[in-house]
């Protein structure tokens, strides 16, 4: 991954990572129909970065409540669906762990519905599942969530369009400008071939890095199956991240 510098209108020199156009989705992906309304059609203006932008937010353990990492105990009763554990490591381009970084997730429930006013999918809402969680990585870059396996859902992008089961991940670095977003999929999903969001990642190896792996060693007997999903921030083995301009609930 190469870097270059851009000079902002205020005269500040801003280092940037070059975009990996082989792995990352094109800003305009015709098969993903709503991208035509979302991608920037004009060059992006570079805003000056002052002390607030380059030093904030201050994200620490105090940002996470005791139950934030466990989406199955956040309400009065247990949610419906298959309980799973999702864990892994956050690593830099050299394979070193990234400690003390905020990891957030959001997802549909087991019936494939988000708790969001814009989701009109005629599937049941679960009063005991909000679909959001957060945690901080430990000194070795480890994170761990307990949640419910999300369901597939229709999204009207094309004929008989269904999104594969997935979990959204958001990671914050040391500043507001360092937020990265990706999606985690499940192995063997039969909907991969017809999903334009998944297939907008043109590099096959990069697509594979978006798929978690089943991990029997970290399952809890008679309680929950487990999936591993490592997130590499940069470099040849880097995870595929969305542009913030394209972020949505899909």
Which residues participate in catalysis according to the annotation? Answer: 114, 153, 163, 166, 168
Cβ atoms of 155 and 129 within 8 Å: the answer is no
Q: What is the 3-state secondary structure (H, E, C) of 87-132?
A: EEEEECCCCCECCCCEEEEECCCCCCCCCCCCCCCCCCCCCCCCCE
According to DSSP, the β-strands at 225-228 and 3-7 are unpaired
Name the phi and psi angles at 244, rounded to 5: -60, -25
Measured CA to CA, the distance from residue 71 to residue 147 in angstroms comes to: 5
Which pair of structure tokens corresponds to residue 34? Answer: 């709503």
């Amino acid at each position: 991954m190469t870097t270059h510098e851009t000079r902002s209108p205020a005269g500040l020199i801003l280092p940037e990572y070059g975009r990996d156009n082989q792995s990352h989705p094109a800003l305009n992906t015709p098969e993903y129909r709503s991208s035509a309304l979302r991608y920037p059609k004009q060059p992006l203006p570079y805003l000056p970065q002052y002390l607030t932008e380059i030093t904030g937010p201050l994200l620490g353990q105090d940002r996470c409540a005791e139950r934030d990492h466990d989406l199955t105990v956040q309400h009065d009763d247990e949610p419906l669906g298959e309980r799973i554990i999702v864990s892994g490591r956050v690593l830099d381009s050299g394979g070193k762990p990234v400690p003390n970084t905020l990891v957030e997730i959001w997802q549909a429930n087991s019936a494939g519905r988000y708790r969001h006013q814009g989701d009109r999918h005629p599937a049941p809402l679960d009063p005991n599942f909000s679909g959001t969680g957060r945690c901080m990585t430990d000194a070795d870059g480890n994170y761990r969530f307990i949640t419910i396996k999300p369901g597939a859902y229709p999204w009207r992008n094309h004929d008989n369009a269904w999104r594969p089961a997935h979990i959204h991940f958001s990671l914050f670095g040391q500043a507001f400008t360092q937020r990265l977003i990706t999606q985690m999929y499940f192995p063997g999903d039969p909907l991969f071939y017809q999903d334009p969001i998944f297939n907008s990642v043109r590099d096959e190896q990069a697509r594979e890095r978006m798929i978690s792996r089943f991990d029997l060693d970290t399952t809890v007997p008679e309680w929950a199956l487990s999936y591993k999903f490592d997130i590499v921030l940069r470099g040849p083995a880097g995870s595929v991240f969305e542009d913030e301009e394209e972020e949505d609930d899909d």
